[in-house]
Amino acid sequence: MVETTTVTGARTLWELIERRAEASPDRPMLIDEADRTLTFAEYRDRAERVAAGLYAAGVGEGTPVSWQLPTRIDTVVLSGALCRLGAVQNPIIHLYRDREVAFALRQTGARYLFIPGSFRGFDYPALARRVTADLTDPPVVVVVDDGLSEAAPGRLPPPPAGTTADDTPVRWIYYTSGSTADPKGVCHTDQSLIAGGWGLAVALDMSPDDVGSIAFPYAHIGGPDYLVTMLSLGFPAVLIEAFSAPDVLPVLRRHWVTMVGGSTAFYQAFLAEQRKEPGTPILPSLRLMSGGGAPKPPELHYEVQREIGGRGIAHGYGMTEVPMIAQGSPHDSDEQLASTDGKPIVGIEVRVVALDGQPAGPDEEGEIRVRGPMVFRGYTDPALTPEAFDDSSFFRTGDLGKLRADGHLVVTGRLKDVIVRKGENISAKEVEDLLYTHPKVADVAVIGLPDPERGERVCAVVQSPEGGDPLGFDEMVTFCRAAGLMTQKVPEQLEVRRDLPRAATGKIVKSKLREEYSAKPAPARSPGR
């Protein structure tokens, strides 16, 4: 067992970086796929030298800086350097393109934009030229493939002082990408991100003995969330630039990684690899899988536990506005891990409000609303902020769910994801969870499509297992009825695909499916209702 100090009470991320470097200077912190490693002290020192280079170029406290970089050591170093200076950083997921990047640069007034050269076949300098061409005061574009500029840190000003929660300045702006409306800029402070990360660390019972992994985009809100856990407990993480389960498994095994995950798509990818080698653990050091960002079918927990090992899946629930809301724990029962999104994390208040506006009782569905230090400070467009909060300052998540009598939260869908068929509300997730258990279903999205007779009809969009036979419509109907699904909820349309459209986090983009299938005529077949 590794002995190291738990760091708590930091008021800024840079203070957390400094205190961890002092407590565990020689412990590894960041490991990449080529086995390059930075210790906690090396990370602090390099971030400070990069900060000195940025300071000499005019970046200081409050300077807006955008970066669109893959999950690399240099990315985490740059982010730490900006923390040292107190800059306002705007991480942009590397999969975003002209629309999202241009909007972020315009709204933040970024003075610098850090990008890779070519990554996964995409030309980022060309994107930068396109999105800055019409700006009257464009940012300086910096390509960091060859490393970050460094300088002696002697002339750096003191780090920004920590303040009370009410006075702490906005240091982070994240954008949520909508399919039609403009993206929303979400404003966070160091303290809101620290509160979210600490809640994750406590729930997962992380320790210095763990070896984590970051296989999702570090520019996602989960990036600093995970960084906080590492700095608080003193354990390292392996950084994965582009996730492909067959390619990353040797790296994860080489470093005896104990925690993997990211989202439901990651869990499923690991399962697919394990099924190629049944009986031979693909991750012999695994303690648990964890993640969020997308619904998790209950059966998936049991499949991972039975076939891969470890505790199974400790799934969580958060969003860009609130990085952590609830999180499963290795100390939960299997039923709780399989069927819920965990308990609310330390420090957060969760309220469920029924659709009639009244407080929901235990196990009663309603909108999930939250309040606490991990909640964002507001949107970059101030006109959007008031309607996002209720009269008691609870953030309206727009998600449906219920708090069980055992204190665990179950997310049942989005308010806008409720299918209204002939005046009856149908939960898409309930139907998805059932269909996922069918052997001919690798993944599934259930959507509502416009229908002149019903208002909306229920459509199941199924991804077939690799090399497997497609699910048939009558076969699906029989399966749903045999499982006792109410007749009104049985999908009246089935679409089978080789893959499903996904966002950068792996979450299925239902808006694209609705757009595609709304243009198709309604099928003549019906499950008989």
Q: How far, rounded to the nearest angstrom, does the alpha carbon of residue 124 sit from its chain's CA centroid?
A: 23
- Domain final residue pick, 382, 397, 415: 415
Tokens at 336, concatenated: 């709780």
Minimum mean pLDDT range among 40-49, 161-170, 496-505? 161-170
- What is the domain count for the chain? 3
Same structural domain for residues 356 and 481? no
Asked if 50 and 82 sit in the same domain, the reply is yes
Query: Does the pLDDT at position 507 exceed 50?
Result: yes
Question: Cα–Cα distance between 3 and 320 in angstroms, integer?
Answer: 34
Measured CA to CA, the distance from residue 47 to residue 437 in angstroms comes to: 47
Kindly state whether residues 391 and 303 are assigned to the same domain: yes
State residue 522's pLDDT score. 76
The residue ranges of DSSP E strands in 255-365, in sequence order, are 259-262, 288-291, 313-319, 322-327, 343-344, 349-353
Q: Specify if 7 maps to a domain.
A: no
Give the separation between CA 409 and CA 421, rounded to whole angstroms: 26
pLDDT at 165: 60
- Looking up tokens 């738990």 gives 6
264: domain CATH number is 3.40.50.12780
The pLDDT tens digits for 254-298 are 999 999 998 888 999 999 999 999 989 999 999 999 999 878 889
* Residue 52's CATH number: 3.40.50.980
CATH of the domain at 451: 3.30.300.30
| Average pLDDT estimate for 67-84 | 98
Is 468 a domain residue? yes
CB 184 within 8 A of CB 379: yes
Q: What pLDDT sits at residue 179?
A: 46
Residue 4 has a pLDDT of 79
Place of tokens 């958060």: 318
Q: Is residue 467 a part of any domain in this protein?
A: yes
Please tell me which residue, 192 or 181, carries the higher pLDDT value. 192
Q: Which residue has the higher pLDDT, 438 or 450?
A: 438
Q: Are 89 and 77 in contact (CB under 8 A)?
A: no
Q: Is residue 109 in some structural domain?
A: yes
Say whether both 407 and 441 belong to one domain.
no
* Domain endpoint, select from 383, 415, 447: 415
Residues 383 and 467 in one domain: no
pTM given for the model: 0.86
Which of 386, 415, 444 is the last residue before a domain boundary? 415
Do both 85 and 176 map to the same domain? Answer: yes
Domain match, 180 and 283 both? no
Q: Are residues 373 and 449 in the same domain?
A: no
Domain range enclosing 499 = 422-518
Task: Assess if residue 526 is contained within a domain.
Answer: no
Q: Do the domain assignments include residue 2?
A: no
Burial class for 288, CB neighbours closer than 10 Å (0-12, 13-18, 19+): buried
**One domain for residues 358 and 248:** yes
Query: What are the pLDDT digits (tens) for 111-169?
Result: 999 999 989 999 999 999 999 999 999 999 999 988 899 999 988 999 998 766 667 89
- The yes-or-no verdict on residue 75 having pLDDT over 60 is yes
Residues 154 and 277 in one domain: no
Percent above pLDDT 70 for the chain: 97
> 122 vs 166, 218, 317, 509, CA distance in Å?
42, 18, 31, 22
Give yes or no: residues 356 and 453 share one domain.
no
With respect to residue 529, please indicate whether it lies within any of the assigned structural domains.
no
Give the 3-state secondary structure percentages of the chain, helix then strand then coil, rounded to 5: 30, 25, 45
Q: Are residues 147 and 295 in the same domain?
A: no
Lowest mean pLDDT among 23-37, 157-171, 307-321, 445-459: 157-171
d(CA 266, CA 292): 10
What rounded mean pLDDT belongs to the chain? Answer: 93
**Token pair for residue 495?**
């679409």
Q: What is the reported pLDDT for 529?
A: 54
Assigned domain for 196 exists? no
Range scoring the smallest mean pLDDT among 142-156, 275-289, 463-477, 515-529? 515-529
pLDDT in tens, 167-186: 789 999 999 865 446 889 99
**Whether pLDDT at 420 is above 60:** yes
- Please give the order of strands across the beta sheet that includes 112-115: 140-143, 112-115, 64-67, 88-91, 172-176, 184-188, 378-379
**Cα-Cα-Cα-Cα dihedral of 225, 231, 234, 237, to 10°?**
50
Higher pLDDT, 524 or 30: 30
What backbone torsions phi and psi does residue 222 show, to the nearest 5 degrees? -70, -15
